[in-house]
Chain A
Amino acid sequence: MTTTIIKPKKTWSLGDFREIWNYRELLYFFTWRDLKVRYKQTFIGVLWAILQPFITMIVFTVFFGKLAQMPSDGVPYPIFVYVGLLFWQFFSSALSETSNILISNQAIITKVYFPRLILPLSSVLTKFVDFTIASLILVGMMFYYGYMPHIIGLLILPLLLLITFMVAVGGGLCLASVNVKYRDVRYALPFFIQILLFLTPVIYPASIAGKYSWALALNPMTGVIQTARAALLGTTPTNWLLLGISFAACFMILIIGVVYFKKVERYFADIL
Chain B
Amino acid sequence: MDIKQRIIVWLAQYVAPCQVIAHRLSTELESKPGWRERLSTRMHLSICVWCRRYKHQLALIKSAAQLAASDQASDSPPLHRLPDESKDRIRRALRDAEQ
The answer on A and B forming one complex is no
Residues of chain B having any CB pair with chain A under 8 Å: none
Interface residues of A (CB under 8 A from B): none
